[in-house]
Amino acid sequence: MNGLWSALGEIDALILALADSGPPRAQVVVCPPVTLLTEVCTRIAGSPIAGGAQDCHAEPAGAHTGDISAEMIADCGARFVIVGHSERRAAHGETDEMVRNKALAAMRAELIPIVCVGETEAERDRGEAKSRVDAQLRASLPDVADALALVVAYEPIWAIGAGRAASPADIDSMHWVVREALKDRYGPTGDALRILYGGSVKPDNAAEIFEVFNVNGALVGGASLKAAEFLNIVRAA
Ligand code: PGA
């Protein structure tokens, strides 16, 4: 819930900077609030940036006042949607099953779902981080996946907005868990799926995080609000 119309200059700055430095070798996606999504998708058209939303409803349409369907998001010109972010799971009671249905809805609308999983600090302290994430993956992911049409984001909840990312060693061991779960589930496709790390990714730690095996990108919150900071993360990628 960050970003008014007055923040759109950050998008323009990002488009300009990427045009100046040549096409990025990483895929760049911005997921603004849905109030800005159509305008952002219009501005990024023809640039290497893709648009996405931060949540969707599982149904295509109907009496769901205030909700936004995956079809509506696609209709804005977006190509991605984040589902199962820990803030949605915590504040809106979203279960793994609901997240899975949202991921399926995204696929139905030909959007690429970015499915988020991650453990709480208490779960980590109890030694349950791996089993928690494994269970979330089993229940939140669709049964069938195409390597380019699904993205998984591992976001330890204790690192989100904390200013303290997980250590490269912790990221490495958790991304192995995610990779193994994806291979179990999807076979060779599981090897090709992109796994993002999220949680306090900043310009000054992005390069070391991107070096970790099985880290195929980042899901950036706070540091994506300013074009200059986000751009430095894109450059690191
Ligand atoms: P952060 O947020 O980068 O500010 O920690 C990540 C997220 O909300 O997914």
End-to-end CA distance of the chain: 26
Q: How many Å lie between the centroid of ligand 1 and the Cα of residue 156?
A: 10
Tens-place pLDDT, residues 54-75: 999 999 999 999 999 999 999 9
Residue nearest to atom 1 of ligand 1 (CA): 221
Q: What amino acid is encoded at 177 in this protein?
A: V
Q: Residue range 95-120: average pLDDT? A: 98
Residue in 10, 71, 119, 155 annotated catalytic: 155
Is 92 marked active-site? no
Whole-model pTM above 0.85? yes
Note the pLDDT of residue 24: 87
**Kindly report the CA angle at 163 between 160 and 166, in degrees rounded to 5?**
65
Give the 3-state secondary structure of residue 60: coil
Q: How many Å lie between the centroid of ligand 1 and the Cα of residue 198?
A: 6
Report whether 109 contacts 76 (CB < 8 A): no
pLDDT category at 21 given cuts 50, 70, 90 is confident
Report whether 15 contacts 49 (CB < 8 A): yes
Boundaries of every domain in the chain: 5-236
Q: Which residues contact 154 (CB under 8 A, 6 or more apart)?
A: 117, 118, 133, 171, 174, 175, 178, 195, 196, 197, 198
pLDDT at 4 over 90: yes
Tens-place pLDDT, residues 151-170: 999 999 999 999 999 999 99
Token pair for 50: 């893709």
Residue in 85, 94, 119, 123 annotated catalytic: 85
Residue-averaged pLDDT of the chain: 97
Which CATH number fits the domain 5-236, given the four candidates 3.20.20.70, 3.40.50.2300, 1.10.10.10, 3.40.50.970?
Answer: 3.20.20.70
Strand-by-strand arrangement of the 112-117 sheet = 28-30, 49-53, 80-83, 112-117, 151-154, 194-198, 217-219
**Mutation to probe ligand 1, out of 160, 200, 230 (largest number of atoms < 8 A from CB):** 160
Note the pLDDT of residue 198: 98
pLDDT category at 22 given cuts 50, 70, 90 is confident
Compute the distance between CA of residue 60 and CA of residue 58 in angstroms, rounded to an integer.
7
**Mutation to probe ligand 1, out of 80, 81, 83, 200 (largest number of atoms < 8 A from CB):** 200
pLDDT at 129 over 90: yes
Q: Residue range 207-215: average pLDDT? A: 98
Note the pLDDT of residue 127: 98
